[in-house]
Amino acid sequence: MKARLRSDFEEGSVAWAIRRAEWGVLGLTDEDMHRPKIAIVNSSSGLAACFAHLDGIAARMKEAIRAAGGVPFEIRTAAPSDFVTGAGRRGGYILSGRDLIANDIEVAVEGALLDGMVCLASCDKTVPGQLMAAARLNLPTIVVACGYQPSGQHRGRHNDIEDVWLSAARRAAGGTDLTTDELHEMSRNAILGPGVCPGMATANTMHVVCEALGMALPGTTPVLANSPRMWEAVRRAGQRIVELVWEDLKPRDILTPQAFANAATVVLSASGSINSIKHLQAVAKEAACEVDVYGLFERLADRIPLLTAIRPNGEHLIEDFERAGGASALMKQLEGFLHLEAVTVSGRTLGEHLGQVTVADQEIIRPVERALARRPSIVVVRGSLAPATGIVKLAVADDRELYFRGPARVFESTDQAVQAVHRGEVCAGEVVVLRGLGPRGTPGMGTATSLVFAIEGAGLTGRVAVVTDGQQSGLSNVGLVVNEVSPEAADGGPLALVEDGDPIVIDVERRVVDLEVPEEELAARRARLGDLLPRAEPGWLAIYQRLVRPLQEGAVLGERD
């Protein structure tokens, strides 16, 4: 039995007459009024390579949806890119853009009472924003990964945006004799086409997460942008979304606790971006699914083997991972750890899909018995300095020291900290505390990546540690860094009380980050604290600062306690 279309208004009604007039001029027929009306969610933008190809994909998606008997409507959203829109307001538009995307979608799709969505997933924050909207609206939805960018060569070696960024940071810190001309040459040859950053950074991690959750068609992530495999996925999604609407299979049927456990398992096994944790928590919150994603990562961390090492976590390329079978092949190797009964947008269970999967290269994606490592690459830590959460990211093959004790060196901004590193004012043995970068403190959540790269460029990696309430780019994976400390300093968390010279202990093996200052001294400091919340400029960030919830709730928007 076919589902009733909520967009199919009674003929002769006021709502029907108005729509018939509006849509008639767009070329819709009387028959179209009774067909599934599908939103193509497009975050196209001319500002960054990751979005530059989406208009072409939207056009092909329209053709596929029409061929399947649906009526496509293209809608637009914000399109934040870390490398471009991260320049303004201390990077505050990046994480906050995720929630703006979710609300953009709600306004267009729920306001028009459309029947389903195909979301064109690209850069980091578009993916979770689209998933959040799908979970909130609970309309049949398919997420289509629109692919990673092709990379180039520099002097006979692989060269991508990560190489450019790290080389520029090293040069700024005096850690290399790379010339401006050489850096220019690297920049010209790093990105050879549209798509997201290559490697298992946040964008590709979130693309893989969509498949692990069951919200992308099986076997479609990751994928090279504009490749035959991507175009075939577009065609399949256009056909399937119309079927999905008639079947009335909705996101909350798919986004179950088991699906979130599968996603966490895949992220841990691929050493994915830590940014995926807060994004998954946000999606769970929007889906009204009672899942503690941070707790999931804690419980699964010591059980899930590392089976693949894709840059920046190892030497293999994202192209190697795709060639080996991608997310499906990784989940095939992880079958014994997954909830195989979980339903996917294909209408089949994960187990049914994996029954047909083979792994093309078992060196790129290892079997469990030949795992690359058994210790976790993503470690949730807690302690007197991070009572709620903090996150440490480790590389696949990591020999860094997992215990560090030293005096604090406190900074209130990334620029201040980076300049101190460049001037040689940060010394070996110190714990660099960078605060005021949390969701409310920036507002919008700032990044500590420039500091981490400056430390690497100055030759201090392993000789200093970093503790911050900010986030890091998924491309960054150097040094001992406790990220996303919560409660953040702007909320009065212990990070706000740290002073220069305070002893700090980071013990990754014990999952601990502690501030070794007597409670009575901390109480006295707290009594002296003034208003810690910086005043946001009028506009979107002021709204975000007022409404954003803590990280352990996914930093979604809602009324504050």
Residues annotated as catalytic (active site), given as ranges: 473
Cα–Cα distance for residue pair 456/463, rounded to 1 Å: 10
The per-residue b/e assignment along 277-307, b for 16 or more CB within 10 angstroms, e otherwise, is bbbbbbbbbbbebebebbebbbebbeebbbb
Cα 68 to chain center, whole Å?
31
How is residue 353 written in tokens?
A: 């899909």
How many CA atoms lie less than 13 Å away from 130 in the CB half-sphere? 36
Say if CB 71 and CB 120 are below 8 A apart.
no
Per the DSSP assignment, residues forming a β-bridge with 506 are 404, 513
Distance (Å) of CA 137 to CA 35, 117, 178, 278, 513: 20, 10, 50, 20, 39
Within 426-479, strands assigned E span 431-434, 465-468
Distance CA 56, CA 51 (A): 10
First to last CA, the chain: 45
Q: Which DSSP string corresponds to 111-164?
A: HHT-SEEEEEE-STTHHHHHHHHHHHHT--EEEEE--BPPBEEETTEEE-HHHH
Around Cβ 210, how many Cβ atoms within 10 Å? 27
Collect all residues with Cβ–Cβ distance below 8 Å to 437 and sequence separation of at least 6: 90, 414, 445, 446, 447, 448, 468, 469, 470, 471, 488
CA–CA dist 409, 469 (Å, integer): 15
HSE value, Cβ hemisphere, 13 Å, CA-based, for 174? 8
Best CA proximity match to 493, nearest among 383, 397, 373, 329: 383
Strands 503-507 and 157-159: what pairing? unpaired
Asked whether the beta carbons of 325 and 357 are under 8 A apart, the reply is yes
Residues 6+ apart with CB under 8 A from 167: 176, 178, 183, 186
Angle at 155 between CA 151 and CA 160, to 5 degrees: 20
d(CA 275, CA 286): 17
Tokens matching residue 308: 């693949």
> Exposed, middle or buried: residue 511 (CB in 10 Å: 0-12, 13-18, 19+)?
middle
> Are the C-beta atoms of residues 452 and 395 closer than 8 Å to each other?
no
| CA dist., res. 204 & res. 200, Å (int) | 5
Of the candidates 402, 396, 206, the residue with the CA atom closest to the CA atom of residue 306: 396
